[in-house]
Structure 1
Amino acid sequence: MSPRLRSMLLPLILATASIVNVQATPVPLIPQKRGDTLTSACREFVLLEQSFLEAVCLPAPGESEIQSVVNLDFCVSEQNGDLVAGGGGFLGPGTCDPTSVSLDLVTVVLSAKCTSISGFTIGSELPLAMYIPSSSWSLAQGSSIISLDQAVVSVNGVLQCA
């Protein structure tokens, strides 16, 4: 091999070797803190304009509380008339009636009247506090019950979708 060809190929060979080495080297996974649960880090929940959740949250122990807002339409979706955790939206035509959305400040439950695939209006609930097992009342109302702690977290005091 000529010195000129060698000088041209050497950087390419070294670059390829380093890429192969990097790909072959296992990189340890560093768990990232996804955030505190909504109810463990926040209080004073308020529903604004049917889809914005406002709360006072503690970024970290010993720090001052901050006020934070998250758009629940990015954290909650409607599936066949039920409110479920996960983005996709729950307000609008063919989903939940924006005028029916409410937040129970005592039980921290998000409620709405939603339309099922078959066109029936269903009263649906999404507890914002903790997982609450289905009760005969909720089943009789055609309600789905799921923890909004699965849909919203507090990251350094800032509300975000989980």
Structure 2
Amino acid sequence: MNATSALPTQPEPSARRQWMAVLARTPRAELEAALGRALEGQPRPVYDWLRRPETGLAMVRGRIGGSGDAFNLGEATVTRATLRLRSANHDTPAAAPIGVACHLGRDKRRAELAALADALLQLPDRHAQLHAHLIEPLAARIAATRATREQKVASTRVEFFTMVRGD
């Protein structure tokens, strides 16, 4: 068996991008509780660190008017982590999925949990169950929060219009 056939089927990049965005926007307490519920009754995953959680700065850029020239807005604190699952199901360490996480803030435990969830979601035998019990509820909560915020903003929106004098 060569190394290529030992690799698990890779998720679609757009699907992985979506679940990683959900994991990056979820607070640690919610992520920890949801991951605990999703993994309930299963053996605790074992993993090796490729990059322990570390905190650094990233330059935040903006655009004038949303679509104009780019400019440096400032720096933001980010935390990232990378891990590889260790499992008897994989013939070689290279065949094991790698979980990656990056989020705003300094919470190293949150980065660890998000990277672990990312790696577990890449396992074909666990993907459907984890997606249904972890990603979908968290995505629904994020969407509800966004809708509430947009509703508040819409209620304060002012529409300007010009009246033309008669004649």
Q: TM-score, normalised by structure 1?
A: 0.23
Structure with greater strand share of residues: 1
Larger radius of gyration: 1
Structure with greater helix share of residues: 2
